[in-house]
Amino acid sequence: MFTRPDLDDGAIIDALHFRWSFNATHIEYAPVGFGSHHWHVSDGQNRRFVTIDDLHAKHHGRTVDAARHRPTSALASAARLRSADLDFVVAPLPTIDAAITFDLSDRYVMAVYPHLDGDQRDYGPYATQAERLAVLERTGASIDPDAIELYRLCWDLSEVGIYISEFRQPHTTTDDILTAWDNLQVFLDSTRW
């Protein structure tokens, strides 16, 4: 998300200390991605990547508890895949009591990841099926192109639903809303379908 939420860095640093035993001395908001808020943190030697989901922005007609369950379940699945030696999966680090996420408040859910150096690409789907297949080939799994195309369609429809939900509720013009509008226009292009 490009728009920083109204969250105090001290609350994030405290959660890192008390829930992950990570004593951050540096914290910086990272306006990357689309859907979660991100921070780079460091203790002077080690770095972490923090994501925080705004449950009020993500409930999309569900209860806030249901909105909390969705990222927590997805991240728990990622952690199980990583623990099964699938090293291409980047999973969140568990808290000191082995939880995957931490409720920073009634509104915000936090997860912490190892910080990985690598290439960054723009948010959004891969432009071609060849790009999608190239990424999946790195997993070593057999790939069914029809299943990949079905997944792309499912992902696209999910994105359209998220964007429409954003515009159906009261909102102001922010960089995130403008990005959502631009992304929605891509799906409204009849040549895409």
Q: What is the pLDDT of residue 106?
A: 85
Is it the case that residue 54 has pLDDT exceeding 60?
yes
Distances (CA, A) of 73 to 30, 68, 103, 125, 138: 24, 9, 14, 22, 25
**Torsion angle defined by CA atoms of residues 84, 87, 90 and 91, in that order, rounded to the nearest 10 degrees:** 20
Rounded mean pLDDT, 58-71: 68
Banded model confidence at residue 149, pLDDT cuts 50, 70, 90: confident
171-192 pLDDT, tens digit each: 888 887 888 888 888 888 887 6
What the chain holds in terms of domains, given with CATH numbers, is 9-114 (3.30.200.20), 129-192 (no CATH)
Rounded mean pLDDT, 16-21: 96
Cα separation, 74 vs 153, in Å, equals 20
Give 72 or 103, the one with higher predicted confidence: 103
Give 180 or 133, the one with higher predicted confidence: 180
Residue 52 · residue 109 · CB < 8 Å: yes
Banded model confidence at residue 24, pLDDT cuts 50, 70, 90: very high
The chain-wide mean pLDDT, for the chain, equals 83
Rounded mean pLDDT, 129-137: 74
